[in-house]
Amino acid sequence: MQRTFYIILSAILILNISVTNAQQKVKPKNHMHKMKNLQQLLDAKNTNNSIIEIDNFIGEACNYGNNMNVITVPQQKFYINQELEREVNNGGFSQYFINSGGNYAHETVLSLKEIGAYMTAAILQKAIDLFPGAKVPKNRDQRIKLVEKIDPNNTIWDKLDQRFFSYEEDLNELNIKFVAKHKSSF
C-alpha cells in the first residue's frame, strides 16, 4: 500500500512538473513585441533611420510577414506600408505584387489612407485596378501569372513606379506620426 502511495505521488509530481514546464514555454496569445527605445526613435531628427529601425524590429517580430498575428494591428499597418515602399523602391510595383507584400495590397490601400497618404494610396489603387475585377489574389503563383499577363513589357508598371518615386507625400513623416499616435501598440 505504501508503495502504491509513492507511485501515485511520483506520478503527480512528474505530471505537475511537465505541466509547469509546458506552461513556461507557451507565449500568451496577446504577447506584444514592444520597442524599448521607441521614444528616442520618435524624437530623432533622422526619421529615415527611425523608420528603418522600427521596420527591422517589427520585421523580426513577425518573421518578416510570415507571422503577422503576433504583432499588434498598428504594427501590422506600419509593416505593410513599409513593405510597399521597400518592394516598389527595390523593383517596382511588379516586384511588390510578385512578392509577399502583394498579399496585403488591398489592406495597404486602407493603411495608407489611415496615415494620411492619400496620393500614395491612389497610386497603389491604380496598380490594383489593373488586376481582373480590381482584386489582387492572395495566392502568389496566381499573382505572378497576372503581373506578367497585365504588362509583359513593364510599360504600365513603369509609369506607376515613376509616380510613386515622385514622393508626393512624405511617407516617413506620415508613418512616424502614425507610430507616435499609436505609441502604446509599438
Does 92 fall in a domain?
yes
Give residue 32's pLDDT. Answer: 65
User: What dihedral angle (degrees, nearest 10) is formed by the CA atoms of 64, 66, 68, 74?
Assistant: 30
Does 29 fall in a domain?
no
Find out whether 179 and 51 touch, Cβ atoms under 8 Å.
Answer: no
How far is Cα 58 from Cα 40, in angstroms, rounded to an integer? Answer: 16
% of the chain exceeding 70 in pLDDT: 83
Structural domains of the chain, count: 1
Does 180 fall in a domain?
yes
How far is Cα 65 from Cα 124, in angstroms, rounded to an integer? Answer: 19
Give residue 10's pLDDT. Answer: 40
How far is Cα 48 from Cα 55, in angstroms, rounded to an integer? Answer: 10
Does 18 fall in a domain?
no
The whole domain housing 138 covers: 34-185
How far is Cα 51 from Cα 71, in angstroms, rounded to an integer? Answer: 17
Flag whether pLDDT at 24 surpasses 60.
Answer: no
Find out whether 70 and 62 touch, Cβ atoms under 8 Å.
Answer: yes
In degrees and rounded to multiples of 5, residue 165 shows phi and psi of -65, -20
Find out whether 143 and 136 touch, Cβ atoms under 8 Å.
Answer: yes
Give residue 34's pLDDT. Answer: 85
Does 4 fall in a domain?
no
Residues 6 or more apart from 64 whose CB is under 8 A from it?
100
Does 14 fall in a domain?
no
Does 24 fall in a domain?
no
Flag whether pLDDT at 90 surpasses 70.
Answer: yes
Task: Find where cell 499588434 sits.
Answer: 72
Domain containing 57 — which CATH number?
1.20.1420
- What average pLDDT does the chain have? 87
Does 83 fall in a domain?
yes
Give pLDDT tens digits for 159-168. 999 999 999 9
Find out whether 75 and 33 touch, Cβ atoms under 8 Å.
Answer: yes
Flag whether pLDDT at 84 surpasses 80.
Answer: yes
